[in-house]
Structure 1
Amino acid sequence: MKRYLQYGFTTFADHYGSSEILYGQFRKGLLASAMPTTPRPIGATKWCVFRSPPTPYSRKYVEEAVRERMSRTLSDGIDILQFHWQDYDDPRYMDVIQHLLDIKRDGKLRIDELGLVNFDSRRVDEICRTFGSGALVTNQVQFSLVDTRPLYGMASVCAKHQIKLVTYGTLCGGFLADKWLNKPQPDPYFDSLTPSQRKYLDVILGAWGGWELFQTLLSVLRAIGDRHNGLSISNVAVRWVLDHQFVAAVIVGARLGVAEHKDDNAHVFGLRLSQQDRVDVASVLADRTDKI
């Protein structure tokens, strides 16, 4: 994680498993080392509610959830707390957001910024109209060349309320990469695919347009990368997402010590797509079977 920080990747975003604990240990060790030239890391964690309790959401209940995030990250505050709510039929997510905003406002527990995770356009608009533009800064959603749903609805909501997207799935579990160019369609049951890759393969083969069209996309991205001194397909795919005004950042998944791609990902910072690059990409996207 220190090496990532030195490459310019200053924000770490996750909360699954032991990731908060690992980030907390990393941050604590970094602060203890007192290295003034090292950038300050930013931690973006989550509070996900998949099943609501039968009792009302009290201020105390929400504070306990915030304290748990602080305890796991070994921090006296939270840089970015992102909130997810699974069941829209239960409207108490509005109560939770009100409590979180109150906690942030009174400063009893430090929350620098609040965001959302996987909220749809309708609810983001509802929340921002209720609590005011600027109350929340981000919404973390899936967005890639294979899944362009944020272009249809979410983009206008972001512009209306000055909210930005933090995107995941931008590399489709690693499918948007040179290693898959000119490769046969993988078999999800017999080939060695990660759970993430199986998920995105379903999207590619089903709603998006199939493996043949996906290969056309990879070929176009490879040609664009060649026009930019041989940058990778992944670089181009990430830059395409980042170039949308409503996108603040892309979460590039990395398996620390296993598949990090630090050197390659750092090239995205200096990449600027041309108008011809964007036209070439748009020509492929126009041939999709569905606008997912």
Structure 2
Amino acid sequence: MATYDDQHEHKHETFQLGEFTVPRLWTGLWQLSSNAWGTAPVSKVRQAMRRHVDLGHTAFDMADHYGSAEIIFGQFRVSLETPASVVGATKWCVFKSTEVTLEVVEEAVRQRMERMRTERVDLLQFHWQDYADKGYIQALEYLSQLKARGLIAAIGLCNFDAVRTEEICAHFPGMIVSNQVPFSVIDIRVLYAMKDVCSKYGVKLLTYGTLCGGFLAERWIGEPEPDPYSGSLNPSQRKYLDFIVKAWGSWELFQDLLVVLHDIGQLHGASVSNVATRWVLDHPIVGAVIVGARLGCTEHAADNLNVYKLALTAADRAQIDQVIARSAGSRLNETIGDCGSEYR
């Protein structure tokens, strides 16, 4: 159940994630992993983090492979008067065959702690590439031991499908607090098997891709389908354009969706992005939406707060559902696989 914080101009929805009470909008730092999204001096990045925190965006998501994201976040958080008021979620991602020993796992966790300048990792999200290698169970056993020793506050998953999420939750009762997966009005795969697993085990979804790399915005209304090789799109947009026109439907159908989202937004004084985000947050299995930010370049921290004021009506949702019904959204689990399959 969402609660509210009246300390800010907008009422901030929060939810419980392990021992932490966190906002339902998080700031994603994946765009620090490459200059392809644009660059800014570290000082400007930290200033942008400060602006986010001042607006109540007090949870940041990063990973071991997001460039210097952990380091910059660590530098920022220790500069605060109350560092504990800001939550840092990071990841340990195993992309290739790895010998799983306690030493290997502990080294990975301690590297996160060192880079983030913290005595424990708030939320350690675990990703394992090869399901055929059952080492992920052993790795999670060691993560559990490190949690018991106080090196980790909470353990989550990242891009695990419903089958493996259920396997892990059954093997480690009550340990897994979250799974970070894609979810948007375009990508609705979590509404099938994943929804049931999350409800059964009390796992909250931390969702990314909710704005499809920025395509779910007014600026694309009436625009022709962009050329993915023109150099005008960032890496996220190239990925989501391919998803929209090949897996989900067509650019024409996407335009219909944008118009519906825009019309709904006009009724509520909200943007297309606000409506798309609210639609995702309204699903009980969702804890938070992670909004990527090009800190120091472009950011929408203030506009995102409008999501907390927005209440979609049954009629609004019905309009959105009508467009989704015309798409291949309900067949994505069959055509591209369950959550995270596109990365394997």
> TM-score, with normalisation over the residues of structure 2?
0.80
Contact 2:187 2:329 in 1 (8 A): no
Within a 5 Å distance, the mapping from 1:176-255 to structure 2 comes to 176-190=216-230, 192-229=232-269, 231-255=270-294
* Residue matched to 1:105: 148
Deviations 1:162-218 (A, max 9, x none): 001000100000000010011111111125001110100001111111001000000
1:198 & 1:214 partners in 2: Cα distance? 15
Q: CA deviation at 1:290?
A: 4.5
* Residue matched to 2:8: none
Contact 1:10 1:39 in 2 (8 A): no
* Residue matched to 2:73: 23
Q: CA deviation at 1:4?
A: 0.0
Q: SS of 2:327's equivalent?
A: coil
Q: CA deviation at 1:267?
A: 0.8
2:266 & 2:79 partners in 1: Cα distance? 41
Contact 1:220 1:281 in 2 (8 A): yes
2:233 & 2:170 partners in 1: Cα distance? 42
Contact 1:166 1:248 in 2 (8 A): yes
Within a 5 Å distance, the mapping from 1:164-179 to structure 2 comes to 164-179=204-219
Deviations 1:54-73 (A, max 9, x none): x4x22122111110000000
> Quick one: which amino acid aligns to residue 143 of structure 1?
F
Q: CA deviation at 1:106?
A: 3.1
> Quick one: which amino acid aligns to residue 324 of structure 2?
L
Q: How many residues align?
A: 281
1:255 & 1:247 partners in 2: Cα distance? 24
2:328 & 2:194 partners in 1: Cα distance? 21
> Quick one: which amino acid aligns to residue 266 of structure 1?
L
Deviations 1:25-45 (A, max 9, x none): 000111xxx3x6x98110000
Q: CA deviation at 1:269?
A: 1.3
> Quick one: which amino acid aligns to residue 216 of structure 2?
L
Of 30, 48, 60 in structure 2, the residue corresponding to residue 12 of structure 1 is 60
Q: SS of 1:250's equivalent?
A: strand
Instruction: Verify: 1:130 aligned to 2:130, yes or no.
Output: no
Instruction: Verify: 1:286 aligned to 2:325, yes or no.
Output: yes
Of 260, 267, 270 in structure 1, the residue corresponding to residue 299 of structure 2 is 260
Q: CA deviation at 1:289?
A: 3.3
1:251 & 1:42 partners in 2: Cα distance? 13
Contact 2:161 2:194 in 1 (8 A): yes
> Quick one: which amino acid aligns to residue 96 of structure 2?
R
Gaps of 5+ in 2: 1-48, 333-344
> TM-score, with normalisation over the residues of structure 1?
0.94
Deviations 1:128-170 (A, max 9, x none): 11111x2110000011111110011100000011001000100
1:207 & 1:46 partners in 2: Cα distance? 28
> Quick one: which amino acid aligns to residue 235 of structure 1?
N
Q: SS of 1:115's equivalent?
A: strand
* Residue matched to 2:42: none
Deviations 1:8-50 (A, max 9, x none): 11100012100000000000111xxx3x6x9811000000000
- CA 1:39–1:62 in 2, change beyond 3 Å: closer, same or farther? closer
Contact 1:6 1:39 in 2 (8 A): no
1:9 & 1:148 partners in 2: Cα distance? 25
Kindly report structure 1 stretches of 4+ aligned residues shifted beyond 3 Å.
none
Contact 2:217 2:273 in 1 (8 A): yes
Of 110, 113, 119 in structure 1, the residue corresponding to residue 160 of structure 2 is 119
Q: SS of 1:272's equivalent?
A: coil
Deviations 1:105-131 (A, max 9, x none): 233x2x111000000000000001111
Deviations 1:55-99 (A, max 9, x none): 4x2212211111000000011111100000000010010000011
Report the RMSD for the aligned CA atoms in angstroms: 1.2
